[in-house]
A = this chain, B = another copy of it.
Amino acid sequence: MRGDLGMVACRTIGKKALFHSPSSTSVMHTIPILGPNLPDVWAHNNTYPTPTPSSSSSTGQTAAVLDCKSIAKDIRTQIAAHVCKLKAAVGTSPGLAVVLVGERRDSHTFIRIKLKACHQVGISTFVRQLPQHCTEDELLGVISSFNDDPSVHGIIVQLPLPQHLDEERIINFVSPEKDVDGFHPLNMGNLAMRGREPLFIPCAPRGCIELLLRFGIEITGKKAVVIGRSKIAGLPTSLLLQRHHATVSTVHSFTKNPKQITCEADIVVSDVGIPNIVRGDWLKPGAVVIDMGTNLVENPCSRHGSSVTGDVCYEEAIKVVSAITPVPGGVGPVTISMLLSNTLDSAKRAFRFN
């Protein structure tokens, strides 16, 4: 029925007919009710140049750089202690299953980091690697076996998947009770609906809020702008900030005046994936900035010829804002800690262990 009902002519009572009145005959409105499926294409390269490097000490830094690494470490230490207690009580460690399809180098790197973190805190891991050209049924079969395996408490399917696989179908197939990435629509729906508690919150958004809470940054009543609206980061971060009673505006590639909206925010979260898109003059003096961007940029000074940078022009931002997360060493390590925490949560639920 969506979009297949005719459009009637606009009948106005007021003096002016401001909207088009196609004709007296019904015509279809052509835009689907869920919105046109347009890709988010941000203008970059030309628009967001890298600033000339300068040392922050000589340029009037005022921002507190949030020490996320120590937060991440602290959380992991506590998770390790909880894992020990759980193992002592029930004789089993929490188990995380990792499904990896294909040979993407970045995916392999992310998985390596996640596995290492699991091992550090005593979480067991089960890795299943599938070839790039595996069938959807093969992948679903692997997930099914992990869904049924009582030693597995969390399942992550590393994204992105190869194009021939239906990501939505795959994600939906992960048991919501083991969806430690928080990407299942049932968990996302319960995150969106105030008063409800999803079984899992996506790791990066949960990390973002953990940082704000742990650094004592007030969220309630604050103006927050989330730049970017990805399913895994921007969208759930907006939902979480709203659950903390911030007034949230979501900026995306169709936003006509992102700078104007962003520079009114007390809290700015960026999840775009374009280095330096958020410049110093986009930020209100004293704002708090959480940079979720992880962008690989060329860097001839680096050993590998490249380095990782965030979405925010750090050198400009630190002169304006009151606090900022660095990249690397910011939200990233906390996100991994949240994955460990979600896995531990799941195991505790499975064993009814408090």
Q: Which residues of A contact B (CB under 8 A)?
A: 1-2, 5-8, 10-20, 22, 26, 29, 31, 33-38, 61-67, 70-71, 74-75, 78-79, 82, 168, 184-197, 201, 206, 209-210, 213-217, 219-221, 223, 229, 231, 235, 239-240, 242-252, 254-256, 261, 318, 322-323, 341-342, 344-345, 348
Q: Are B196 and A192 in contact (CB under 8 A)?
A: no
CB contacts (< 8 Å) of A213 on chain B: these are 7, 29, 31, 33
Most B CB contacts (10 A, CB to CB) among A79, A206, A210, A216 go to A216
CB contacts (< 8 Å) of A82 on chain B: these are 1
Most B CB contacts (10 A, CB to CB) among A11, A201, A209 go to A11
Kindly list 7 other residue pairs between chains A and B, CB separation below 8 angstroms, not including A36-B245, A185-B185.
Answer: A5-B210, A10-B216, A34-B201, A185-B193, A223-B256, A247-B251, A247-B256
Q: A79-B1, A188-B193, A235-B192 are in contact. Are A11 and B70 (CB under 8 A)?
A: yes
Q: Are A8 and B214 in contact (CB under 8 A)?
A: yes
CB contacts (< 8 Å) of A6 on chain B: these are 74, 78
CB contacts (< 8 Å) of A197 on chain B: these are 34
Q: Are B15 and A71 in contact (CB under 8 A)?
A: no
Interchain residue pairs with CB less than 8 A apart (8): A6-B78, A168-B195, A185-B192, A186-B186, A186-B189, A221-B254, A242-B250, A242-B252
CB contacts (< 8 Å) of A251 on chain B: these are 247
- Assembly CA distance A78 to B26 (angstroms): 11
Closest to A56 in B: B14
- Assembly CA distance A164 to B229 (angstroms): 38
Q: Which of B18, B75, B250 contacts A323 (CB 8 A)?
A: B18
Q: Which 6 pairs across A and B sit closest by C-beta, in order of nearness?
A: A189-B189, A185-B189, A35-B243, A188-B189, A35-B244, A249-B249
Q: A74-B6, A206-B33 are in contact. Are A248 and B250 (CB under 8 A)?
A: yes
Closest to A322 in B: B18
- Assembly CA distance A168 to B190 (angstroms): 10
CB contacts (< 8 Å) of A34 on chain B: these are 191, 197, 201, 240, 243
Q: Are B240 and A35 in contact (CB under 8 A)?
A: yes
Closest to A243 in B: B35
CB contacts (< 8 Å) of A219 on chain B: these are 35
Q: A188-B189, A215-B19, A247-B250 are in contact. Are A220 and B36 (CB under 8 A)?
A: yes
- Assembly CA distance A194 to B20 (angstroms): 29
Q: A35-B243, A65-B14, A256-B221 are in contact. Are A5 and B193 (CB under 8 A)?
A: no
